Every structure is written in structure tokens, then in C-alpha cells.
Amino acid sequence: MKEKIYLTAGYNTISLGTGRKEFNPKKERPGIEHYISEAGKAVLEQIGGADKVDEVVMSNFNASGYNNQANIPGFAPMIDEKLRFKSATRVEGACGSGGIAMVTSFKFLMSGMSDVIMALGFEVQNSMKAVYGADVLAQAGWAKDRKAGHAHFFPGQFSDRAGVYFEKYGREYARKGFARWYRNAIENARLCPTAQEYHNTTKDLEKAAMREPNPKVFVENLTVLDCSKVSDAASAIAVMTEEGLKRCGVDKKDAVEVVGFGHAEEDITKPPVDPVRLTTTEAAVKKALEMANLTMDDIGTIEAHDCFTVAGILAVETLGLAEPGKGAQFVYEGNTARDGKIPINTTGGLIGWGHPVGATGVHQAVTIWEQLTGKAGDAQIEIKPERPYGMTINMGGDDKSVVCVIYKRAE
């Protein structure tokens, strides 16, 4: 890192959608302006006001499709009138938009032109039924594949990945690993008041997740419990230089330092090189670890992009935590649980906390900031001194746009 970069003052709105007691699809719900304003104001309050901010970076996947709204940077001054006439930038990389907001913020700070940036991601998807939303979400993939794809486009793509995994390594064995991933997600979400599955009361989570897939109503190899949520939410965090910390009066004990990051893109027009490998994720993680001069043995907790349970299992193998084909067993044995060898998705991840597409990468950063600074409340895990680093992996599309960031508590 050419410049020390810090994150502080994170905030998540509630992830609203099916599963939350207050969610009612028949009643009018908050729009994008509500979520942007809530998250933005909460960060500004923590850092001493909008006059401390040099610019804003906003991430959103498809407000044009979900909400009939473009020109997202124009919402920055709505948050606070002191943001009027300041620079604002919108970035988009499908489900990886939030991660791209983070690295864009890092690069803007390293340019020397800013010291304090507010990164804010959001998505409001419950504006339409999920089956219609599938057409909007499909724009995260190659558009020419849409007609030939499943009605539920991305579940279909990851169902295909799961099918190949089943063929290579065993169906029932793999599904037990998927079910344990789901159990971990919900148990962690129950500890986070903003999580979409916070109210989940299912007693035997693994049994529920082992229900047989029904291709007549969904996809061949996955059930709806294997899927991330359709969510409305926003997340925001302040990204600063050391000078920015001083300007905002933030103590380093309340911040995390970015020690490495990697951003990788793959050709969206081509299918996966190997259905049971996340090759773009592998490239992004390698870049981040090399920049940080670390190995996976140094990482104490991870926020992984579990858009589907199979993606979580493949991420475990991509990271080298388990050999190819052994990821399901690694998860099933409890190694990724909150009290396991390497806790993953401690507030529920995309399956438990929610997946407000353009906000997810920012939400991951907020979660790591909370964990490393001891601000995670009931969801707090032990950060062991021999493994003090946190990692986020945010994936856009079917392993096409991937950002990996590594953090440590600031000193």
C-alpha cells in the first residue's frame, strides 16, 4: 500500500424482505431515498458532519431496472445539504458493486486529492415479484444467455455448478455441506438485529435445508434455502487517510486499516472455465494476499460472497482452506462456524443477513470493521492474536467481477 487507508464509522440499515416480521409485500415500503439517507446520515453523525467529507462513492447495481431511477450520484446532496456541489461517483459491477466502491475509494484517496470519502451502497429489489426481478438480475450476466437460461436465471447457473459438483464428489455428501452452510448463516443472522433472517425460528436448520430440490417449481440442484435473499437495504462506511482520521477526530482504535486488495475481471461473454472453480475469485484473492504479504494462515475471519450455498463451498476451496472436493466436508465439520477454525459470514452473509446487491460489498466491510474493533454486539467473535486479519470477497455475476480486501485493526 502506497498510502495508509482506514475504515471507520460503518452503518447498516435493516435488510428488509421476506423473513423480517415487518415486511409486508402488499404494503408500500420505503424507497431508495430512505435507505440512502438513513445510512449516509448515520455515518456523517459518527465522523462529525458532512463538512468533513471530500467526496462520495456510491454503489448500486440496477436502480434503473428495479426503481426506474438513474443518475445515482445526484442523491448524495439529499443526504445532507453540506454535500451539495461536492464530487460524487456511482460505480457498478453487478453483485460486486460494493466491493468496487471500496477499491475506488482507496484509489481516490491514494491519488492525494481527498482524505475523507463516504462509500455508500444500496439496492431496493422488492419493488417487483422475484420471478420478474429475475429478468433485472439477469443483466448481471451475459444478456444473450438470458433466453436460453432458466426462468430463475442465476439460481439456474449456480444449480448447474452444484450439479457438476455432485457428479464429481457425491450428491448427498455435498448437500450435507450445503445444509451446514445454511445452518451457520441463519444461526449467525439470529445474532444480528439488522439481518433479514434475524427472526428465523426454524428448529432443525440442517433438516430443513436437506429438503429435496424440485425442478418443477425451482431449479434442479438447489432449493430456495440455498439462495441469498431478495433484499432492500443500504450500507455505508467512511474511508480515510491518516490525515482524514485527524480531521474527523477518530481514534485509531475505532478504525481498521486496509493492508491489501485485489480486483479481477473475467470475460462476461464466456461460460465458467471450470464449473467447480471460482477462477476470478482466485485471482482477486491472490492479488490481495500478495499486496498484504500474508497467507490464509494469517486470516482470522472472512466475509465470503455466498450468493448460493454452493458458492460458499467453492469459495472455501478457492481460498485453499480445503482441497477441491473437500470443501463440503470442511464446512460440515463446523470449521467455518462462528466458533470454528475460521469463522465465515459472522452476521449471516448473503443467505442470512441479506443480499441488497449494490450494498453487499460495503456491508461486508462494515461487518469486518465491527468484528476487528469489537463493535459487533451479540455477533462478536474472538479475534485471535495470531490471526488478526479480516478478509472480504465480493463477487459480481457468475464469478466475473470480484474484489477481495484484507484488513487489520488500526494501530
Res 1: pLDDT: 77
Percent of the chain topping pLDDT 70: 100
Res 379: pLDDT: 98
> Phi/psi of residue 116, each to 5°?
-135, 120
The Cα–Cα gap between 332 and 300 comes to 19
pLDDT range class, residue 115, cuts 50, 70, 90: very high
The Cα–Cα gap between 409 and 407 comes to 7
Res 148: pLDDT: 84
Q: What is the mean pLDDT of residues 382-400?
A: 97
The Cα–Cα gap between 384 and 283 comes to 27
The Cα–Cα gap between 83 and 197 comes to 34
Buried b (16+ CB within 10 A) or exposed e, 4-26: bbbbbbbbbbbbbbebbeebeee
Pinpoint the residues of the chain covered by CATH 3.40.47.10: 5-129+230-254, 140-227+260-409
Q: What is the mean pLDDT of residues 81-88?
A: 98
pLDDT range class, residue 317, cuts 50, 70, 90: very high
Res 106: pLDDT: 98
Res 22: pLDDT: 96
37 pLDDT above the threshold of 80: yes
Q: What is the mean pLDDT of residues 174-187?
A: 98
Nearest CA among 12, 16, 197 for reference residue 124: 16
Res 331: pLDDT: 98
Res 149: pLDDT: 79
118 pLDDT above the threshold of 90: yes
pLDDT range class, residue 81, cuts 50, 70, 90: very high
The Cα–Cα gap between 206 and 406 comes to 31
Model pLDDT for residues 262-293, shown as the tens digit of each residue: 999 999 999 999 999 999 999 999 999 999 99
Q: What is the mean pLDDT of residues 15-26?
A: 96
Residue 105: is it exposed, middle or buried by C-beta count within 10 angstroms (0-12/13-18/19+)? Answer: buried
Percent of the chain topping pLDDT 90: 96
CATH architecture for the domain at 5-129+230-254: 3-Layer(aba) Sandwich (3.40)
Question: Hey, what long-range contacts does 281-285 have (CB within 8 A, 24 or more apart)?
Answer: 281/305, 281/315, 281/318, 281/393, 281/395, 281/399, 281/402, 281/404, 282/318, 283/402, 284/393, 284/402, 284/403, 284/404, 285/318, 285/319, 285/391, 285/393, 285/404
Q: What is the mean pLDDT of residues 386-411?
A: 98
Q: What is the mean pLDDT of residues 237-264?
A: 98
Q: What is the mean pLDDT of the chain?
A: 97
CATH architecture for the domain at 140-227+260-409: 3-Layer(aba) Sandwich (3.40)
Res 147: pLDDT: 84
C-alpha angle 130/131/132, rounded to 5°?
A: 90
Q: What is the mean pLDDT of residues 340-359?
A: 98
Model pLDDT for residues 133-167, shown as the tens digit of each residue: 989 999 999 999 998 878 889 999 999 999 999 99
Beta strand 299-303 with 256-265: parallel, antiparallel or unpaired?
Answer: unpaired
Report which residue type is found at 200.
N
Res 171: pLDDT: 96
The Cα–Cα gap between 299 and 382 comes to 13
pLDDT range class, residue 105, cuts 50, 70, 90: very high
> Which of 5-9, 148-152, 223-227, 337-341 shows the lowest mean pLDDT across its residues?
148-152
Res 151: pLDDT: 85
